[in-house]
Amino acid sequence: MKTPASFNFHFKYIFILTAVVIAIVSVLITNTLVDELKSEERKKIEVWAESVELISSQTSTENINSNILNNYDKLLVEKIIEGNITIPIIVTDEENNIIDQRNIRSPKAEDAAYIAKKIKAFKKKHQPISISIPISEAENLVQYIYYDDSTVLKQLQLFPFIQLTAVFIFIIISFVALSSSQKAEQNKVWVGLSKETAHQLGTPISSLMAWVEYLKTKSTDLQLLAEIDKDVQRLKIIAERFSKIGSNAEPEQMNLNDAINNAIEYMSKRISSKVSIHTTLPDQPAIVLMNESLFGWTLENLIKNAVDAMDGHGVIRIVVFTRNEKVMIDVADTGKGIAKSKFDAIFRPGYTTKKRGWGLGLSLVRRIIESYHKGKIYVYKSELGKGATFRIELPKHAKQG
């Protein structure tokens, strides 16, 4: 059965997938543009190199047999050479002596050691272009042109990382906003439902209490009245619990062992006789700040779920121990177990595997533990067909003398 919670869960994954696809497509397009621009810059440098070679050959005093450029061609070639104002270039001879350097905008541009480092860096990025300048009929002067990417190309190469960062930030902000909106909406539902339930229970409970007092004045079985009175008091506790949802339920210092024993004592009389509850509690009091009414509700929910998972027969084990500054409560059963993929989903409002029910039990449990007791609750371990263990972590509180 699909619930609003499962729909929202799938929507989140669809949203992430869409954002990732957009980012990947954008990165691929940007990389294609970068490759094309690299190719264009390579061609520009090759044309620049040919121009330098041509001018150098023209001005060589010994190259008297070469074709002489007319003034227009010479002016055009010089314009090509001077036209490069974006691509950093270093020209060297065969001995790596620096002949010329252009577009290296740095205070260290005249430092030979700095330029030598630049040559190594340029060589790693691009294969240098060699030019051959005839200085005699039998001898040529070889020069090497090293170049780097232009500023525009470098910025374009950084763009995918900036884009991915922006998409990542957008996803985080969207999720925070969506989660906050959902949580605020859930809070309104919780508070409204709880307050209305407490209000609706108030009238019949008051009436039942009056009837109990009236029956005490009649010849009524006192033992029977005592049992009825217990159930009426229980209804009062339930109404009190609902009324505290959405309000500031002040926690108090309490021995966790006492709270667990009280919850077990109540539940033991109301579950199948084929279910046994075993406890392992510390010898020393485990003092925590808690609201006993709400914590008891949490434990009762876990026990009820365990009984349902075991189909009314099996063993429930409750183990309490301390670790560092926390008190751990493990509630284990021998029931059907929970698939690992559902460990988080079972705490979402509306999620249920039962034919009847709203799927609010474990969601309420998590809310009580996290919001009112500043703790954590999660599925510690589970194996299908063998049972599950829920773990509650509560901050340990030093007992005040």
Q: Are residues 11 and 39 in the same domain?
A: yes
Instruction: Identify whether 383 is part of a domain.
Output: yes
Is the per-residue pLDDT at 119 higher than 80?
A: yes
Q: What is the pLDDT of residues 55-101, one digit of tens each?
A: 777 665 444 444 555 666 667 666 777 777 788 888 888 887 888 88
Domain boundary among 109, 127, 149: 149
DSSP-derived pairing of the beta strands 314-323 and 275-280: parallel
pTM of the complete model = 0.51
Q: What is the pLDDT of residues 297-306, one digit of tens each?
A: 899 889 999 9
CA distances from 165 to 159, 168, 199, 298 (A): 10, 5, 50, 41
Q: Are residues 186 and 308 in the same domain?
A: no
Residues 6+ away with beta carbon under 8 Å from 56:
131, 133, 141
Between residues 27 and 184, which one has the greater pLDDT?
27
**Residue 49 lies in domain:** 4-149
Element (H, E) at 100: strand 98-102
pLDDT score for 332: 96
| Mean predicted lDDT score pLDDT of the chain | 80
Q: Are residues 261 and 368 in the same domain?
A: yes
The percentage of residues in the chain with a pLDDT greater than 70, rounded to a whole number, is: 81
Is the per-residue pLDDT at 240 higher than 50?
A: yes
Is the per-residue pLDDT at 275 higher than 60?
A: yes
Element (H, E) at 203: helix 151-216
Instruction: Identify whether 245 is part of a domain.
Output: no
Q: What is the pLDDT of residues 299-331, one digit of tens each?
A: 988 999 999 999 989 999 999 999 888 999 999
Q: Are residues 177 and 108 in the same domain?
A: no
**Ranges 121-125, 217-221, 254-258, most confident:** 254-258
Between residues 65 and 352, which one has the greater pLDDT?
352
